[in-house]
């Protein structure tokens, strides 16, 4: 082991290169990824991580976790796991087209709170699900159904955390997005607390700095923030999710108070979500191609048609505008970036080895 700050910087840069892929044409196959990960891990283990700053530490934490996942994790123990999950997602989505959006949001809310450990799936008083920020999550039945199937074929083998990550990956692919190979081996957490949700989940009213802070605490960069926000190219939102952009006038009618929103789009939103609208009404996140995973989200942002304030801000802030423009003009570039960022998202704080457990049922911990 070479000691000193120079080597540490080198390792961090290598890590950054591996995960953020400074070069857009940079693609590694699985074997190369594993080799590089292993080399990095050997160095990192013997490195005094305490000498590093907070951003580097969170990247290293993310790397360390991701390195303990593997691509052929279920090859011997449950070779059909990916097929089973994909079939379940496909069949559920064909009867209910809202499923892909729900699954994709579910993995985000899982991974940002306690890491990707299926803690969001646990039911009961005071669990993550009971927090208001998780009230409108859905897709649980799809994960339960895949789990029941897998318990029949390979009992006690496949974690709910892996099923959720794979299902979200498939949700993107079946709506037209890139098919990404993701490693497996996540274990299920035994803890889930509502109190952990708010400090870790981003709200639509957050400033760019607040969003950056939460993302970077998960080892995710500004690029990842712009890229992963592209998830809003599918799915829907309740009126309350963007009601802060409007205000009631003296006649009780809504008026637009957020100048970053296109006025005709704002009128359309007020028509669909008038004052006093039912809490169950939803509006498509992407007004143009709501069920296709494409780069339309970024085109919408350029047209000032971002549904949430946290979407519009990506165009308004000069730190992120260029990337929004790049993705709006080049879907391939968005897809490449998506693949890298999704891999990072689904590797956040994973539990592996002896940690956690393999739940028998995704909604409750083993007795
Ligand atoms: C950057 C900060 C983010 C904020 C503030 C945010 C906020 C929201 C809100 C408020 C909704 C509407 C929920 C509802 O009313 O039912 C929503 C929907 C959604 N979000 Fe995000 N989100 C963010 C990032 C992400 C990320 C990183 C992903 C996934 C990678 C994601 C995926 C989705 C999806 C797919 C939906 C649609 C859900 C459905 O159709 O049921 N979001 N988001």
- 354 annotated to a ligand binding site: no
The pLDDT value recorded for residue 26 is 39
| Residue 105 Cβ < 6 Å to ligand 1 | yes
| Integer-rounded Cα radius of gyration of the chain | 21
In this model, does residue 64 exceed pLDDT 90?
no
In this model, does residue 282 exceed pLDDT 80?
yes
Task: Please answer whether residues 34 and 70 qualify as being in contact, where contact means their C-beta atoms are separated by less than 8 angstroms.
Answer: yes
Taking all residues of the chain, what is their mean pLDDT, rounded to a whole number? 89
Nearest CA-CA partner of 104 in 341, 310, 358: 341
Percent of the chain with pLDDT over 70: 82
CA of 238, closest atom in ligand 1:
15
Residues 6 or more apart in contact with residue 48 via CB below 8 angstroms: none
| Residue 230 Cβ < 6 Å to ligand 1 | no
Distance (angstroms) between ligand 1 centre and the Cα of 156 equals 31
The pLDDT value recorded for residue 7 is 46
> Does residue 109 have an active-site annotation?
yes
| Tens digits of residue pLDDT in 304-349 | 999 999 999 999 999 999 999 999 999 999 999 999 999 999 999 9
In this model, does residue 178 exceed pLDDT 70?
yes
| Residue 40 Cβ < 6 Å to ligand 1 | no
Q: DSSP string covering 141-197, please? A: HHHHHHHHHHHHHSTTTS-HHHHHHHHHHHHHHHTTS------B--BB-S---GGGT
In this model, does residue 20 exceed pLDDT 50?
no
The pLDDT value recorded for residue 24 is 38
Task: Please answer whether residues 165 and 346 qualify as being in contact, where contact means their C-beta atoms are separated by less than 8 angstroms.
Answer: yes
* Domains present along the chain, CATH in parentheses: 5-67 (no CATH), 81-196 (1.10.520.10), 211-345 (1.10.420.10)
- 233 annotated to a ligand binding site: yes
Tell me the sheet residues that pair with 187: 351
Distance, in Å, from the CA atom of 177 to the CA atom of 341, rounded to the nearest integer, reads: 13
DSSP code at position 273: S
In this model, does residue 116 exceed pLDDT 70?
yes
- 89 annotated to a ligand binding site: no
* Arithmetic mean of pLDDT, 155-170: 98
Distance, in Å, from the CA atom of 102 to the CA atom of 105, rounded to the nearest integer, reads: 5
The pLDDT value recorded for residue 68 is 81
């Amino acid at each position: 082991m070479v000691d000193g700050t120079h080597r540490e910087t080198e390792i961090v840069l290598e890590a950054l290169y591996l995960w953020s892929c400074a070069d857009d044409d940079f693609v590694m196959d699985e074997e190369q990824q594993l080799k590089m990960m292993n080399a990095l891990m050997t160095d990192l283990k013997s490195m005094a991580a305490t000498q590093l700053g907070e951003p580097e530490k969170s990247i290293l934490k993310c790397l360390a976790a991701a390195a303990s996942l593997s691509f052929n994790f279920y090859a011997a123990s449950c070779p059909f796991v990916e097929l089973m999950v994909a079939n379940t997602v496909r069949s559920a989505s064909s009867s209910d087209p809202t499923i892909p959006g729900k699954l994709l949001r579910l993995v985000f809310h899982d991974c940002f709170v306690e890491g990707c450990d299926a803690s969001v799936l646990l039911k009961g008083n005071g669990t993550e699900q009971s927090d208001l920020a998780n009230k409108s999550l859905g897709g649980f039945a799809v994960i339960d159904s895949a789990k029941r199937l897998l318990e029949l074929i390979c009992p006690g083998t496949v974690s709910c955390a892996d099923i959720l990550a794979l299902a979200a990956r498939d949700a993107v692919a079946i709506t037209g997005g890139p098919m990404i190979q993701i490693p497996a081996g996540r274990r299920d957490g035994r803890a889930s607390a509502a109190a952990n949700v708010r400090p870790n989940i981003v709200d639509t009213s957050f400033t760019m700095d607040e969003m950056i802070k939460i993302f970077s605490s998960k080892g995710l960069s500004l690029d990842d923030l712009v890229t992963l926000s592209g998830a809003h190219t599918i799915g829907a939102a309740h009126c309350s999710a963007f009601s802060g952009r409007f205000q009631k006038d003296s006649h009780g009618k809504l008026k637009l108070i957020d100048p970053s929103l296109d006025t005709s789009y704002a009128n359309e939103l007020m028509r669909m979500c008038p004052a006093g609208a039912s809490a169950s009404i939803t509006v498509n996140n992407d007004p143009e191609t709501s069920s296709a995973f494409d780069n339309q989200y970024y085109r919408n942002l350029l047209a000032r048609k971002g549904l949430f304030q946290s979407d519009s801000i990506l165009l308004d802030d000069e730190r992120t505008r260029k990337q929004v423009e790049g993705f709006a003009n080049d879907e391939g570039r968005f897809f490449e970036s998506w693949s890298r960022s999704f891999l990072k998202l689904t590797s956040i704080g994973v539990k592996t080895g002896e940690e956690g457990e393999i739940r028998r049922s995704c909604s409750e911990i083993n007795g």
